[in-house]
Amino acid sequence: MSFATWIAFVFAASIIAVSPGSGAVLAMSQGLSYGVKKAGATVFGLQLGLLLVLAIAGAGVGSLLLASELAFNIVKTVGALYLIWLGLAQWRSKVEIMPGDATAPAQVLAPAFGKRVLTGFLTNATNPKGIIFMVAVLPQFISKAAPLLPQLGILAITMVVVDSIVMNGYAFLASSMQRFFRDARAVKKQNRFFGGVLMLVGGALFFVKRGATAA
């Protein structure tokens, strides 16, 4: 892989990461609710899910999913239902505020570390749009004259680094607004907003068609 090809992939990965999606919504939601440090667990989970999607696309399984109507619809339905369930859970979630003091503001009680990681992982791992996009994009940056695995490794590391920076950036920007969402009523409105967005994103997945390349 040439340096020029790698730079081109960095730009492509940046565009993919910055484009609005379920991962960005989740990072902002958790950054606003729990702060950028605790949202890091969710971002870590998002990267694990992204690695799985990259592995699926790189192994050619993604192409098989796109070729099979049944397999594609199963993946699409699972992903859509998961996001709708996640959004509904956030919409209905109970607001638990940890009391603060003069030096530290009150904070929303965060789920366990493992649960935050799993939420991030499932959000990306069940996203058929990610598989579609990777199947369409990855081959353009892979040289047939060079070994496949080293190239996939470089692309995967690059994608994860870029996406981690962007998702943590979304979480950081959202966390900077925490001071406006520290009472139970404001947090409840926030949960309903992001829960509604996640349900809308999940509902939109039902309309994703095979062969689509939009992220």
Model pLDDT, residue 210: 63
38-93 pLDDT, tens digit per residue, is: 999 999 999 999 999 888 887 776 666 667 777 778 877 887 888 788 788 777 77
Q: How far apart are CA 202 and CA 130, in angstroms?
A: 13
Q: Are 178 and 35 in contact (CB under 8 A)?
A: yes
Q: How far apart are CA 94 and CA 77, in angstroms?
A: 27
What percentage of the chain reaches a pLDDT higher than 70? 82
Query: Which residue in the block uniquely carries the two structure tokens 């993946």?
Result: 75
Least confidently predicted of 168-177, 180-189, 195-204: 180-189
What is the arithmetic mean of pLDDT over 20-28? 87
Model pLDDT, residue 182: 61
What is the arithmetic mean of pLDDT over 161-190? 81
Answer yes or no: is pLDDT of 103 > 50.
Answer: no
One-letter amino acid at 160 equals V
CA torsion sign for 175, 177, 179, 181 is: negative
**CA distances, 188 to each of 30, 35, 85 (Å):** 13, 16, 17
Model pLDDT, residue 6: 92
Q: How far apart are CA 189 and CA 157, in angstroms?
A: 37
Model pLDDT, residue 51: 93
131-175 pLDDT, tens digit per residue, is: 777 777 777 788 878 888 888 899 999 999 999 999 999 999 988
Model pLDDT, residue 44: 97
Q: How far apart are CA 20 and CA 25, in angstroms?
A: 7
Residues paired with 88 in a beta bridge: none
